[in-house]
Structure 1
């Protein structure tokens, strides 16, 4: 209430302070305020208006304004600021003639054809893409009168197209009854859908707009791509149509944010003066969002300049035409190459089912497709190992100088010696064996030599994200003796059908830690890939105690496969650990011997080792 009172009182004060040449009765403000209060579409914003009018009515101040146009501007600024709605406007128009609602004149057929051909632009673009531009949304009554001609001249030419670009960049007018009529051509006949609700303030009624069960001509359907082009000039009924189809997930909006107009604007005369108040007298309330496009506009799914919207829309349609082949190709690659055949088959079946259900119908770019594919594959596979990308993953080449290697190693490894000669070693990624081998001596000198002579060791893999598994055998070998070969794991490669044994190495750079000294490995939910393979081996062979959290349950390093000639690549795990004795770690993770939060794992490990060493003394 205080805001509205402030508005009316401040207008009176503003007039007294700044103007002294002409006078206008304060009743003008009262009459204007009554029009707003009785007709504005959002009465909840007008709390306190009645009391404000009564206060203004008893005010004997006279507005001293030099001319009518100045007064209109002052009143507009006041009412717009009070209600926070720029659609409200006060004007002074002595020559204003109210617009007469347009009706369809009884034109002969040839003239009617000419009118339609100039007001509706139709084209069939390359790739069987339909293009339709309509600058005024017809009401249902008018559409019924000229329906036969619309079918022959426009709609029947659009129906056979594979996709439709509906250009509303220039659509600034229309009839409310045209909303369900137009939207229904892109929905199913049954069941009927609640499209929109329109509240009319003067009558205090709400019309529930439903999709139509029967239409003149055939429907465009629910699966063919529909792109709506918008601009800052897209206004009113066109905004409603775009907003409805967007939230029904039936259309993709490309272009600029729309004007933020209204479904209905009325210009109402103030008393017997030549002042008028333009008021939005009705408002749209979308049943899906519970909100509206009015004032704020419709935000595009793909925001580009209006002049670039058509070219962008064509690219989107062309991409969507490729999507079925991309998804089908991905399903085949997964079924043929995923490390676990049964999971690969199931994922492929589910992926194709999602394609058929329309899960990929609304993609707007290759990046969007890749992100959607990756998210869906993660969900249906139960893991994060299968991913889509535009480029095959590649490790950076390691062609550093010896000095650079030393600096890199110092950053990559952390060591410490705790009380009771307990060693600590942390590293967060495994390297490729062929790349690590030339610098093995540097690692031994600058890292391994610091912890190898300890009486017990803590290996911190809580932040180890994996990497190549080619160095696993070598690293494991440091914690076993050289007198016999030990089979660490058996790896099955789906692409070749071969099973290979991972065994300890007879020769190593530097001194072994051996099999007798205590070893604890710290894990977390972030421990993944090669880190998990190392933990799995050391736990399975009883060589280490695991303290921390269950690991992530990812996979052996994935291989990259291009999907046809699409430029989209899939990372697919093709290798899994031996499952003859039961499930391995892929997909499930490795449970620790002693489960504790990752943050407290080091303290727990130190406590265990200190107690153990003290017991030996």
Structure 2
């Protein structure tokens, strides 16, 4: 009843424009037409009573201009139903259109109908372009089928991809939906395309794909792009919605108008007033929803004027994708660090692209996301992925960079603190080492114990690790720290402590604590792994990320994407390494508390010595 009160309020609000009488039966007839014909009768609750009451209010009946009354009734009914498709009009000259019988249309006129309804071209790169303004129904299709084949279908059938332009499609016949959809599906199994409920007859009709067609099908494997605009309405919306939800087409353009599969214009009380009523409702069997009123949302939203260029870009990308994914599979098979996993990942990745898993991708960002997700699922390795090209870094100012990278402090009880958030790789090794010693190391080397903070260290190059570790072992000790197997080159790199260092050693006797978090990754984990394995440091904080050794990047396309592959792994002959699992701390605390806990451990130690 609340909806009905809204209608009454609107009618009363406009009732002051009163001068001339209209029959009260106009209201009751409007209510009856809507109740008998409107496709969603549940939205009409309370309307009949309100319209009946309104018909007794002389102010409403005394509106001088019939067009104003029609507009008032339209606003009232739309506010009650929430349906912008319902419209009351005053049209004294209205004559229902009566299309001529098909058998009366001369053949030459039928050819003209085909050419005016469908514009066909074959674009560069063997791409078909079909622009359809009216979707013909079953009767016309049977009559002009041979002409359609000759003037349209035979031209586009051999193409490698198709653009179906429905941006200007404003009319059509319900029976034409299965015809169009079936040309882009297989003959078997039959597909339930749509269910259409007709309110006047109270009958629901199921639309199914057709087992036989005139001419050959376009098939299910070649790219199909449907262009839409805000003017795409009615039957064309149904076609776009069906093919979109069957995952057969990608819709590019604007959200469609949100029309109806069928709107009837019905006379009121034998007057010159008419009401346009959606008398049928479409419900998609896949989504359980309708495109009516809300329209069809595009997969790729762009201005309608840009839709065709966007479609061509998508088709070009899809033509490249199989080769990109196959190249990625080959690179993984040849380079991924764990060769027992690499072949399986590559084989399954090629199977995915062969099965059509990548056929509906519309952008390079989608390709990166899809390929990365598949690589993660197949390998379990979050480091194996496709990503953007790494940015080109500007020339480095070494001293400012090092001062910004490292933070040092000396706490109570002569406890040194050093934080750095990356492991750099510089060509000027000797020069950089001296700068670090002068600006960083000399500030903490004389302390009695040290805390190294790697909670925010995302990794970097493993080249400095052997040298860094060496500062915390004695000069007379040469230790094999780790062995890194590089599958891409088939070589093993041995990390050993260095006999000579720039600056003084910290040695093996003084206390060393390392802070970690779930953000500690890559080369930082390799350093933590070594220092924990040899019992040289106590680890305080959280389980590390479980990342990978510094990966290599491989170009897989002419675009902006590169394949990131971990090509090396730590020596596993002595047991499990840290890749993929992370390193557990000796003292597990939230990363926000790790520094205070570490200082507390050392302060307690020094207090015990006094």
Q: How far apart are residue 361 of structure 1 and its match? A: 0.6
Residues 418 and 207 (structure 1), Cα distance of their counterparts in 2 relative to 1, 3 Å cut: farther
Structure 1 unaligned regions, length at least 5: none
Secondary structure (helix, strand or coil) at the match of 1:123 reads strand
Q: TM-score, normalised by structure 2?
A: 0.92
Residues 234 and 470 (structure 1), Cα distance of their counterparts in 2 relative to 1, 3 Å cut: same
Residues 450 and 207 (structure 1), Cα distance of their counterparts in 2 relative to 1, 3 Å cut: farther
CA contact (8 A) 2:55 2:61 kept: no
Match of 1:174 in 2: 172
Match of 2:14 in 1: 14
Secondary structure (helix, strand or coil) at the match of 2:346 reads helix
Counterparts in 2 of 1:399-548, with a 5 A limit? Answer: 399-400=396-397, 402=399, 405=400, 408-434=401-427, 437-548=430-541
Match of 1:116 in 2: 114
Q: How far apart are residue 50 of structure 1 and its match? A: 3.6
Secondary structure (helix, strand or coil) at the match of 2:427 reads helix
Count of residue pairs the alignment pairs up: 610
Query: In structure 1, how many angstroms separate the alpha carbons of the residues matched to 2:132 and 2:10?
Result: 45
Secondary structure (helix, strand or coil) at the match of 1:170 reads coil
Counterparts in 2 of 1:227-246, with a 5 A limit? Answer: 227-246=225-244
Query: In structure 1, how many angstroms separate the alpha carbons of the residues matched to 2:236 and 2:342?
Result: 46
Query: In structure 2, how many angstroms separate the alpha carbons of the residues matched to 1:443 and 1:102?
Result: 91
Cα deviation code 1:435-480 (max 9, x no counterpart): 6753444444544344434433332222221112221122222222
Between 178-187 and 233-242, report the one with greater CA deviation: 178-187
CA contact (8 A) 2:555 2:561 kept: yes
Match of 1:573 in 2: 566
Q: How far apart are residue 160 of structure 1 and its match? A: 1.8
Query: In structure 1, how many angstroms separate the alpha carbons of the residues matched to 2:138 and 2:605?
Result: 86
Residues 33 and 613 (structure 1), Cα distance of their counterparts in 2 relative to 1, 3 Å cut: farther
Query: In structure 1, how many angstroms separate the alpha carbons of the residues matched to 2:285 and 2:602?
Result: 63
Match of 1:586 in 2: 579
Between 602-611 and 323-332, report the one with greater CA deviation: 602-611
CA contact (8 A) 2:28 2:48 kept: no
CA contact (8 A) 2:11 2:60 kept: no
Q: How far apart are residue 255 of structure 1 and its match? A: 2.0
Q: TM-score, normalised by structure 1?
A: 0.91
Q: How far apart are residue 238 of structure 1 and its match? A: 0.5
Match of 1:94 in 2: 92
Between 365-374 and 51-60, report the one with greater CA deviation: 51-60
1:216 aligns with 2:214: yes
Residues 51 and 478 (structure 1), Cα distance of their counterparts in 2 relative to 1, 3 Å cut: farther
CA contact (8 A) 1:232 1:259 kept: yes
Query: In structure 2, how many angstroms separate the alpha carbons of the residues matched to 1:102 and 1:174?
Result: 16
Query: In structure 2, how many angstroms separate the alpha carbons of the residues matched to 1:215 and 1:140?
Result: 12
Residues 597 and 54 (structure 1), Cα distance of their counterparts in 2 relative to 1, 3 Å cut: farther
Between 185-194 and 145-154, report the one with greater CA deviation: 145-154
Query: In structure 1, how many angstroms separate the alpha carbons of the residues matched to 2:100 and 2:526?
Result: 76
Query: In structure 2, how many angstroms separate the alpha carbons of the residues matched to 1:313 and 1:95?
Result: 43
Cα deviation code 1:150-175 (max 9, x no counterpart): 33433233222111111112111111
Residues 9 and 492 (structure 1), Cα distance of their counterparts in 2 relative to 1, 3 Å cut: closer
Q: How far apart are residue 530 of structure 1 and its match? A: 1.0
Residues 274 and 456 (structure 1), Cα distance of their counterparts in 2 relative to 1, 3 Å cut: same
CA contact (8 A) 2:3 2:45 kept: no
Among candidates 375, 378, 381, match of residue 380 of structure 1: 378
Residues 13 and 107 (structure 1), Cα distance of their counterparts in 2 relative to 1, 3 Å cut: closer
CA contact (8 A) 2:90 2:272 kept: yes
CA contact (8 A) 1:398 1:435 kept: no
Q: How far apart are residue 111 of structure 1 and its match? A: 4.4
Q: How far apart are residue 242 of structure 1 and its match? A: 0.6
Query: In structure 2, how many angstroms separate the alpha carbons of the residues matched to 1:554 and 1:608?
Result: 28
Cα deviation code 1:563-614 (max 9, x no counterpart): 3656643222222211222332222222333444434444444444444444
Query: In structure 1, how many angstroms separate the alpha carbons of the residues matched to 2:218 and 2:64?
Result: 59
Cα deviation code 1:326-369 (max 9, x no counterpart): 11112111111112222221221111011011121112233332
Q: How far apart are residue 109 of structure 1 and its match? A: 4.3
Secondary structure (helix, strand or coil) at the match of 2:279 reads strand
Match of 1:396 in 2: 393
Counterparts in 2 of 1:299-318, with a 5 A limit? Answer: 299-318=297-316
Query: In structure 2, how many angstroms separate the alpha carbons of the residues matched to 1:439 and 1:48?
Result: 83
1:258 aligns with 2:251: no
Among candidates 77, 80, 83, match of residue 82 of structure 1: 80
Query: In structure 2, how many angstroms separate the alpha carbons of the residues matched to 1:438 and 1:63?
Result: 95
Query: In structure 1, how many angstroms separate the alpha carbons of the residues matched to 2:19 and 2:56?
Result: 23
Secondary structure (helix, strand or coil) at the match of 1:66 reads coil
Match of 2:202 in 1: 204
- Report the aligned-residue RMSD: 2.6
Query: In structure 1, how many angstroms separate the alpha carbons of the residues matched to 2:42 and 2:604?
Result: 71
CA contact (8 A) 1:329 1:564 kept: no
Query: In structure 2, how many angstroms separate the alpha carbons of the residues matched to 1:550 and 1:210?
Result: 56
Residues 91 and 503 (structure 1), Cα distance of their counterparts in 2 relative to 1, 3 Å cut: same
Secondary structure (helix, strand or coil) at the match of 2:450 reads strand
Q: How far apart are residue 96 of structure 1 and its match? A: 0.7
Between 217-226 and 450-459, report the one with greater CA deviation: 450-459
Q: How far apart are residue 513 of structure 1 and its match? A: 2.5
Q: How far apart are residue 499 of structure 1 and its match? A: 1.0
CA contact (8 A) 1:528 1:554 kept: yes
Residues 78 and 544 (structure 1), Cα distance of their counterparts in 2 relative to 1, 3 Å cut: same
Secondary structure (helix, strand or coil) at the match of 2:318 reads helix
CA contact (8 A) 2:166 2:227 kept: yes
